[in-house]
Every structure is written in C-alpha cells, then in structure tokens.
Amino acid sequence: MYKVIAIFGTRPEAIKMAPVIQELKKHHHIETKIIVTAQHREMLDQVLEYFDIVPDYDLNIMKVNQTLVGVTTAIMQELEALLIQEKPNMILVHGDTTTAFTSAMTAYYHQISVAHVEAGLRTNNKYSPFPEEANRQLIGVLADLHFAPTNQAKQNLLEEGKPLETIIVTGNTSIDALMKTVNDDYRHPLIDSIRQKQRRMILLTAHRRENFGESMQNIFMATRDLVEAYDDIEVVFPVHLNPLIKQLAKQVLGDLSRVHLIPPLDVIDFHNFLGQSYLVLTDSGGIQEEAPSLGVPVLVMRDTTERPEGVEVGTLKLVGCHRETIVAETSRLLDDLELYKRMASASNPYGDGQASIRIVNKILESALSNQND
C-alpha cells in the first residue's frame, strides 16, 4: 500500500493541511499517517480538535524561548527515527515553516519523495520574510512535486528550473478550509458589542520575526494613532503567544478601551472574525489569501510579499512598517468609501475551494505509477 505522511507543526500549516488530510482519508488504498512537531503547541491543538485530526505521532518539540537552531535539530533527531520506522513513499509538507523545511531535508536524506503544498511563493529576499523565504526556496530544491497555488507561483518555479511535469497549479487550500469554517450566522459577544455601538472592526495581527523591535513598536503606535483619530473604530488584536509581542502590545495599547487584546482565536472564531471585519492590518501570510476571499481589504505591514497576486488585482496593499505610512493608508480606506469598495470587491486570485482534490488526485497518480513500477 502506498504510504503518505503529512507533517506539520503550526496552526497555519494545520489549517491548510486539514482539507488535504480529510481528502486523503477518503481513499483507503492510500495509507495516510500524520506527524505533528508541535512547533507551536497551543495554537496547533485548536485546529486539530476542530478538524477532528488525531496525529499518529506528536513530537512535542516546543520549548520555552526556543531558537531556530533548536527547533531544527530537535525535529531532525525525532523525525528520522519515525521515517525509518514507517518507510513512507512520500511526505507532504506545507508552506515555509521550519517544520516544513526540516522535514523535507530529513526525508531527502532517506531518499523519500517530498510533495510541497503551497509551493513557489517568492519574494527573492532571503531575509524577508525571515526565515520563511529561505525555508520555502530550500524546500523547492528538495521537492519532487510542487503544488503551486497560482500561475505566478508556477512561473516562479519554472524560472528556477523545476521540471514542468512536477508542478501542478491547485489553488490554495486555505480557501478550502474557509468553506468549512465561515458561517453566516456566527455570533460572538465582542463582535455583537462592536456592532451595537455602530463601530467598524479592524482586525490586527502581528508576529513576524523580522518585525520584532522597532517595526513592531511602529505597528502598535500606528494602531494607537488610528484609534485616537477615529471614534467609530475598534481594533481586535488576537495577541501572538510570543512573550515579547505580548509585553509590547500591553505596554503600547493596553490602556485603550477600543483596542481589544485577546488570546489567540481558534480557527472557526478567527475565520469568522476575519469575515466580519471592516479591514485587516497584518504582517501575516495566509490572511493575505483568506481575507480577499471574504471581501475584506488587507493592508500588509511588510516591505515584501510572497503573494503579489493580491497586490496586482487590488485586494492587498503593501504599506511597510513606518508609523506614518500605516496611519495614512489606513485612514484612506476609512475615509474613502469608493477606494474601500474597489478593494473589497476585487476578484480573489487564490482559488475556488477545490485545491485539496487536485492535490490528492496527483498523489493518487503517483501511487498508481509506483504500483506499476
């Protein structure tokens, strides 16, 4: 029997891999196993519970104040023994995390085929985002199958010399996940309170390593400026678990009644908060795909994006991490209804909700080829 092992360790990976795993489980002639590294423990478990995914192995590598080197070495040491034991035909990794890169490298050392979900995204600046851009490029060197979400991602891979027959344009599995989580009847006390006061909700997310320090200070100070300038907005910030972010957010924003510093939301809450937001301020990656699918404009607080398709069609705008620029660009969206409507109604370039089916069909093709060999 053809054996596939899906490996992931963070909440975004889990959200985007969940629809693929559910689709794989429909095919009984493929043995599907799941390994989680728990690179981010608390956030990961929320997703596993919602999608009813039970890992076969949990490496539980998360440590206090862990470094990238520590995460990398821990995963490689733990994963190697499991790959030797399970002898999979293929491993399936997602995106640009340290888990994904390290798993691909470990599989390569054992000559196990690597399939890369969400392949081909590029900024071509190895330090932006850090370490994700380098992780993604290095996985691309090792991968045998590249599941590219867009034609632009496919073109990036072709320009790097990847064989055409190894690249499959699938759409992004984040859209598949949204179709399972967003509910028109969703209610939450915080959202109800903001609505009752007839205020616009801005969803803020900020956690990128390259933004630690001055850039994160700028993001939070810009948020403060906006709340003080506009009486009709409230900001909801699900604060990342990193202690540095929590401390700075409380210091800069903690005294503002219209800024809600809340714990990380589970997947169903987060997607529905996203869908009911007026706009999004973020330095994240996946939100750049999810929000446009829900008609929500996104201002990306980074200097680069590996998702340029959204910028090109007008659903996203790069605003960097300068305090004045963030305030100015957000103010434009808050003040100019026509500009807002253009961004909110721009077409979503990231897929139709069928990405998981396309991915699994290609894996089935690989399984059949393996049997014929």
> Is 177 a member of any domain?
no
Convert the pLDDT of each residue in 78-115 to its tens digit.
999 999 999 999 999 999 999 999 999 999 999 999 99
> Is 180 a member of any domain?
no
Examine the domain organization and report whether 157 and 66 are in the same domain: yes
Examine the domain organization and report whether 336 and 211 are in the same domain: yes
Examine the domain organization and report whether 147 and 296 are in the same domain: no
Q: How far apart are CA 42 and CA 193, in angstroms?
A: 27
Q: Are 249 and 221 in contact (CB under 8 A)?
A: no
Examine the domain organization and report whether 117 and 262 are in the same domain: no
> Is 182 a member of any domain?
no
CA dihedral 340, 301, 233, 273 (to 10 degrees): 90
Q: What end-to-end distance do the CA atoms of the chain give, in Å?
A: 13
Examine the domain organization and report whether 18 and 72 are in the same domain: yes
| pLDDT-above-90 percentage for the chain | 79
CA-CA distances (angstroms) from residue 119 to 26, 167, 251?
24, 9, 38
Question: Among 21-25, 222-226, 267-271, which stretch is predicted with the lowest mean pLDDT?
Answer: 267-271
pTM for the structure as a whole? 0.85
Query: Which residues are identified as catalytic?
Result: 96, 118, 132, 207, 209, 240
> Is 179 a member of any domain?
no
Examine the domain organization and report whether 211 and 249 are in the same domain: yes
Q: Are 154 and 169 in contact (CB under 8 A)?
A: yes
The residue-averaged pLDDT of 223-235 equals: 98
Q: How far apart are CA 309 and CA 133, in angstroms?
A: 17
Q: How far apart are CA 233 and CA 108, in angstroms?
A: 50
DSSP string, 315-373: SEEE-TT-HHHHHHHHHHHHH-HHHHHHHHHSPP-S--S-HHHHHHHHHHHHHHHHHH-
Examine the domain organization and report whether 13 and 93 are in the same domain: yes
Angle, alpha carbons 100-367-83 (nearest 5°): 40
Examine the domain organization and report whether 166 and 193 are in the same domain: no
Q: How far apart are CA 137 and CA 116, in angstroms?
A: 11
> Is 178 a member of any domain?
no
Strand partners, 7: 35
* Number of structural domains in the chain: 2
Examine the domain organization and report whether 94 and 124 are in the same domain: yes
Q: How far apart are CA 41 and CA 298, in angstroms?
A: 27
Helix 11-24 crosses helix 173-181 at what angle (to 10 degrees)?
Answer: 90
Examine the domain organization and report whether 363 and 317 are in the same domain: no
Q: Are 81 and 116 in contact (CB under 8 A)?
A: no
Residue 373 has a pLDDT of 66
Convert the pLDDT of each residue in 272-322 to its tens digit.
999 999 999 999 888 998 998 899 999 999 988 988 999 999 999 999 999
Q: Are 220 and 253 in contact (CB under 8 A)?
A: yes
Which residues constitute the domain of residue 332? 189-345
> Is 176 a member of any domain?
no
CA dihedral 263, 294, 198, 317 (to 10 degrees): 80
Q: How far apart are CA 32 and CA 25, in angstroms?
A: 7
* Structure-block tokens of residue 54: 């039970």
CA atoms within 13 Å, Cβ hemisphere of 242: 17
> Is 183 a member of any domain?
no
Residue 303 DSSP class: S
* Structure-block tokens of residue 309: 């398709």
Q: How far apart are CA 55 and CA 67, in angstroms?
A: 24
Angle, alpha carbons 24-29-32 (nearest 5°): 40
Q: How far apart are CA 180 and CA 164, in angstroms?
A: 32
Examine the domain organization and report whether 11 and 75 are in the same domain: yes
Examine the domain organization and report whether 214 and 338 are in the same domain: yes
pLDDT band at 226; cut points 50, 70, 90: very high
Convert the pLDDT of each residue in 182-217 to its tens digit.
998 999 999 999 999 999 999 999 887 777 889 999
Q: Are 46 and 61 in contact (CB under 8 A)?
A: no
Judged by DSSP in three states, 145 sits in strand
Q: Which residue carries 């890169």 as its tokens?
A: 101
Q: How far apart are CA 146 and CA 292, in angstroms?
A: 24
pLDDT of 40 strictly over 90:
no
| CATH assignment at residue 61 | 3.40.50.2000
> Is 43 a member of any domain?
yes
